[in-house]
Chain A
Amino acid sequence: MSLWVDKYRPTSLSKLDYHKQQAAQLKNLVQCGDFPHLLVFGPSGAGKKTRIMCLLRELYGAGVEKLRIEHQTITTPSKKKIEISTIASNYHLEVNPSDAGNSDRVVIQELLKTVAQSQQLETSTQRDFKVVLLTEVDKLTKDAQHALRRTMEKYMSTCRLILCCNSTSKVISPIRSRCLAVRVPAPSTDEICTVLFNVCKKEGLSLPQELARKIAEKSGRNLRKALLICEACRVQQYPFSSDQDLPETDWEVYVKETANAIVSQQTPQRLLEVRGRLYELLTHCIPPEIIMKSLLSELLNNCDGQLKGEVAQMAAHYEHRLQLGSKAIYHLEAFVAKFMAIYKRFMEDGLEAMMF
Chain B
Amino acid sequence: MDIRKFFGVTPAKKPTNEKDKKENNKTSHGVTTQKKTKDHKLKSPGSDEKGKKQQSNKKKRIIYDSDSEEDTPPVKKSKRPQEESPPISKPLKVKKPDPVDYVSDTDEEDFATLRKPNKPKENGTKVVSPPSNSKITAKKTHVPAKVKTPEKKVSTSVEDFFGMGNVKRSNKKLVETKKEEPRGSTDDSLMDDEAIARELQLAEDEELERQLHEDEEFAKTLAMIDDVPKDKIQRKGEKKQTSPESKKSPAKAQKHSVRTLSQTDLSTTIKKEKDLKEETKKPSRTHSEGSSSSKEKSPAKSSSKLALMKKKEEAQQREVAVSSPATKTKVISPKKEMVTPAKSSSKSESSPEDSEKKHGNYTSYRNYLNREGPKALGTKEIPQGADNCLEGLTFVITGVLESIERDEAKSLVERYGGKVTGNVSKKTNYLILGRDGGESKREKAESFRTKIIDEDGLFDLIRSLPGKKSKYVIAAEAEMKTQAKAEKTPEKVAKKPSPVKRKLTPEKRQSPRAKKPAVEEDDWKKSVKREEKPSSGKSLDLAPASGKTESLLWVDKYKPTSVKAIIGQQGEQSCANKLIRWLRDWFKNHSSDEKKPAVKYNKFGAKDDGSSFKAALLSGPPGVGKTTTAVLVCEELGYSYVELNASDARSKNSMKEVVAESLNNTSIKGFYSGTSKFVNSKHVLIMDEVDGMAGNEDRGGVQELIALIKGSKIPIICMCNDRNHPKIRSLANYCFDLRFQRPRAEQIKGAMMSVAFKEGLKIPPPAMNEIILGANQDIRQVLHNLSMWCASNKALTYDEAKSNANNAKKDIKMGPFDVVRKVFAAGEETAHMSLIDKSDLFFHDYSISPLFVQENYVHVKPAAAGGNVKKHLLLLSKTADSICDGDLVDRVIRSNQFWSLLPVQAIYASVIPGELMRGYMSQFPNFPSWLGKYSSTGKHDRITQELAMHTSLRTRTSKRALNLDYLSYMRDKLVQPLAEHGAEGVQEVVDVMDTYYLMKEDYDNIMEISSWGGKPTPFSKLDPKVKAAFTRGYNKEAHLTPYSLQVVKASKRAASTLPSEYGEEAAIEDTQGEENQDDEVSVDAMIKAKKSKPSKSSKVEKGGDKKPSKAKTKKGK
Contact = CB atoms under 8 A, between A and B. Distances in A.
Interface of A: 1-3, 5-6, 9, 44-45, 49-50, 53, 65-71, 85, 87, 90, 96, 99, 135-136, 222, 224-225, 228-229, 231-232, 235, 247-251, 253-254, 266-268, 271-272, 275, 277, 279-280, 282-287, 290, 318, 321, 324-327, 329-331, 333-334, 337-338, 340-341, 344-345, 348
A337 B1062 contact: no
A282 B858 contact: no
B887 A327 contact: yes
Contact of A268 (B873, B940, B994, B1009): B873
A348 B941 CA distance: 42
A280 B1043 CA distance: 31
A321 B884 contact: yes
Contacts of A333: 854, 880
Contacts of A340: 873, 876-877
B874 interface: yes
A151 B190 CA distance: 97
Contact of A338 (B881, B940, B969, B972): B881
A65 B970 CA distance: 23
A333 B880 CA distance: 7
A341 B876 contact: yes
Given A69-B1042, A85-B949, A228-B966, A283 B961 contact: no
B929 interface: yes
A68 B1052 CA distance: 14
Contacts of A324: 888, 891
Nearest to B1013: A280
Nearest to B957: A49
B876 A325 contact: no
Contact of A68 (B887, B963, B970, B1057): B1057
Given A68-B1081, A267-B869, A285-B963, A330 B1012 contact: no
B945 interface: yes
Contacts of B1012: 250-251, 253-254, 280, 284
B952 interface: yes
B747 interface: no
Given A68-B1081, A338-B877, A338-B880, A344 B992 contact: no
5 contacts: A6-B955, A45-B961, A66-B1079, A71-B1053, A272-B858
Contacts of A249: 964-965, 967-969
Given A1-B995, A9-B956, A325 B988 contact: no
A268 B874 contact: no
A87 B956 CA distance: 10
A345 to B, nearest CB: 6
Contacts of B992: 1-2
Interface residues of B, number: 76
A345 B871 CA distance: 9
Contacts of A136: 958
B728 to A, nearest CB: 33
A339 to B, nearest CB: 8
Contacts of A271: 858, 873, 876
A122 to B, nearest CB: 14
A334 B956 contact: no
Given A71-B1053, A283-B933, A330-B886, 6 more contacts: A90-B1062, A228-B969, A235-B976, A251-B968, A327-B887, A344-B870
A325 B891 contact: yes
A267 B869 CA distance: 7
B89 to A, nearest CB: 73
Contact of A87 (B872, B874, B886, B953): B953
Given A65-B1082, A96-B958, A285 B873 contact: no
Tell me what chain B mostly uses at the interface: helix, strand, loop, or mixed: helix
A68 B966 contact: no
B996 interface: yes
Given A6-B955, A50-B956, A337-B873, A327 B930 contact: yes
B1047 to A, nearest CB: 13
B662 to A, nearest CB: 46
Tell me whether chain A's interface is mostly helix, strand or loop, or mixed.
Answer: helix
B890 interface: yes
Given A280-B1013, A329-B930, A268 B858 contact: yes
B343 interface: no
A307 to B, nearest CB: 15
Contacts of A229: 969
Interface string B925-965: 00001100100110011001100010011111111110111
A279 B945 CA distance: 20
B580 to A, nearest CB: 56
Contacts of A44: 960-961, 964-965
A224 B1043 CA distance: 25
A334 B972 CA distance: 35
Contacts of A318: 884
Contacts of A2: 954, 992, 995-996, 1083
B953 A287 contact: no
A285 B877 contact: no
- The 3 A-B residue pairs with the shortest CB-CB distance, nearest first, are A334-B880, A69-B1043, A341-B877
A325 B887 contact: yes
B1049 interface: yes
B973 interface: yes
A245 to B, nearest CB: 14
B1010 A250 contact: yes
B969 A284 contact: no
A266 to B, nearest CB: 6
A254 B952 CA distance: 27
B839 interface: no
Contacts of A287: 960
A325 B888 contact: yes
Contacts of B886: 330
B965 A228 contact: yes
Interface string B463-475: 0000000000000
Contact of B964 (A5, A251, A266, A345): A251
Given A251-B1012, A279-B929, A67 B965 contact: no
Nearest to A290: B964
A348 B969 contact: no
A56 B874 CA distance: 57
A283 B937 contact: yes
Interface in B1061-1117: 1061-1062, 1079-1083
A249 B1081 CA distance: 29
A283 B887 contact: no
A344 B880 contact: no
Nearest to B879: A337
B1044 interface: yes
A146 B54 CA distance: 101
A53 B1010 contact: no
Contacts of A45: 961, 965
Contacts of A231: 969
B704 interface: no
A69 B1044 CA distance: 8
B1049 A71 contact: yes
A67 B877 contact: no
A85 B953 CA distance: 12
B962 to A, nearest CB: 10
Given A68-B1057, A334-B877, A337-B873, A285 B961 contact: no
B884 A334 contact: yes
A85 B945 CA distance: 10
A290 B937 CA distance: 16
Interface string B877-901: 1011101101110110010000000
Contacts of A53: 956
B1079 A68 contact: yes
Contacts of B952: 69, 87
Contacts of B1083: 2
Contacts of B1082: 65-66
A224 B873 CA distance: 41
B567 to A, nearest CB: 49
A337 B876 contact: yes
